Amino acid sequence: MDFHVLKDSVYSTPAFVLDEIEVTRVLEILADLRTQCGCKILYSIKALPFSGVMDMAKAFVDGFSVSSLFEARLANEMIQQGLAGQGNIHLTTPGIRRDELDELSLLCSHISFNSFTQYQRYSEAAQAKSSIGLRVNPKLSFLHDDRFDPCREHSKLGVDIKQLCRTIRLDQIQGLHIHNVFSATDFSPLIKTVEKLQQHLGIGLAELEWLNLGGGYLFGQIEDYRPFVELVNKLTHDFGLEVYIEPGKAVVGRAGYLVATVLDSFVSDGETIVILDTSVNHNPEVFEYQRQPELHEHEPEGQYAAILAGCTCLAGDVFGKYRFKEPLQVGDKVVFKNVGAYSLIKANRFNGYNLPDIYLSNSLRVKKVKHYDYQDYRRQWLAD
Ligand SMILES: *Cc1c(COP(=O)(O)O)cnc(C)c1O
């Protein structure tokens, strides 16, 4: 990314910029893996359900993975617009509702029920149209923060692997779904997880048609893909399984930038405070998980320090302390990096501040593709 071009070309801020070259780079890696081992690729749209991403992904993926009716509808709409024949839509969620089930099963090629009770209640109605599976919880934790760990104690996500064989015969379902890591950069958790699956299910795996290995791996930032290729080849060869992966953050995380402009700068108790025309509400995980986002302008050895803060009334609406070569001036632009995933989808208009415009950038141009305005805010808040 050429930051000079980026800052010059973004004419209104806050701006969410997606680097098409980076998205395509990751999609090409995924498509290459598909060629090497025959795995099927789904883009997990919850990371950023922007049509521009789904459009870019179309040529590289076998479909999309979704967690709700709205996501399923959007994925389906995108598929209708030109992905005929490869329109896989995989759903798994604890939140399936009876009143949405018929439409969900029309839209989704595969549904993995989150619990045995959910399966009992809904599989009969869903199986006429969809291939039915269960989300299995392998009870293997690789994360040390309960907030992201699907395998935490008393987890709500998936059927406990120990219960699985006691509660269901594998020939009654077509597939299994596992998802138990977040932002992993090597495949050792996946290998351990599949080993555990094999220990518990053994040759029973051959009764199934498909296995969805979930998301959570940062394809594009992994050095050695051979363990993955070997694993998928083995699953295909030993059990005849069709293997799916459904990355989200891998596809868009590093491709996303948030460009903001300095609105004000002053000193508070001896520290320089810089107010930006964005806020943690445009990237809520900063506040949710108290994580400091990367800033392009940050110079670890820089002489000037400042606390970058958002423009809302919340005292804790703060990005963190950064260092700079030159003091930031009102009107300067700054760029947060690696904010493509789980940012805009969680963003809100708290305090009545508008959402960022969306731009697409490649080496030739930066183009505005989505603008929100007062009418969007008004429509959300005026009673019907
Ligand atoms: C969130 C999620 C994904 C995508 O995860 P990333 O970390 O964005 O790759 C895939 N599958 C399931 C079941 C998920 O919950």
**Res 5: pLDDT:** 87
Distance 214 CA to ligand 1 centre (A): 6
Tokens at 341, concatenated: 């995933």
Amino acid letter, residue 76: N
Ligand 1: which atom is nearest the Cα of residue 183?
7
- Tell me the pLDDT tens digit for each residue of 308-336: 999 999 999 999 999 999 999 999 999 99
Distance 307 CA to ligand 1 centre (A): 32
**Res 9: pLDDT:** 87
Helix boundaries (H) for the chain: 3-9, 20-37, 51-57, 69-80, 98-107, 116-126, 161-167, 188-201, 226-239, 249-252, 285-288, 374-381
User: In the CATH hierarchy, which fold is given to the domain comprising 3-17+253-381?
Assistant: Lyase, Ornithine Decarboxylase; Chain A, domain 1 (2.40.37)
Mutate to test the pocket of ligand 1, among 148, 176, 246 (most ligand atoms within 8 A of CB): 246
* Residues 267 and 298 sit within 8 Å (Cβ to Cβ): no
Longest dimension (CA), the chain: 68
pLDDT mean values, one per 10 residues, the chain (384 residues): 89 96 98 97 98 94 97 95 77 97 98 97 95 97 90 96 91 96 96 97 95 98 97 98 98 98 98 98 95 97 98 98 98 98 98 98 92 98 97
Tell me, using a 6 A CB cutoff, whether residue 179 lines ligand 1. yes
CATH class belonging to 38-247: alpha beta
Distance 323 CA to ligand 1 centre (A): 34
6: number of Cβ within 10 Å: 20
**Res 357: pLDDT:** 97
Which residues of the chain are in CATH 2.40.37.10 domains? 3-17+253-381
Q: Whole-angstrom Cα distance, residue 196 to residue 192?
A: 6
Q: What residue owns the CA closest to ligand 1's atom 2?
A: 215
Give residue 297's region: left, alpha or beta (phi > 0; psi -120 to 50). Answer: alpha
Tell me, using a 6 A CB cutoff, whether residue 249 lines ligand 1. yes
Ligand 1: which atom is nearest the Cα of residue 177?
13
Q: Whole-angstrom Cα distance, residue 17 to residue 85?
A: 31
Which residues of the chain are in CATH 3.20.20.10 domains? 38-247
Those residues whose C-beta lies under 8 Å from the C-beta of residue 115, and which sit 6 or more positions away, are 94, 158, 159
Which among 42, 84, 78 is positioned nearest to 60, based on CA atoms?
A: 42
3-state helix vs strand vs coil in the chain, percent to 5: 35, 25, 40
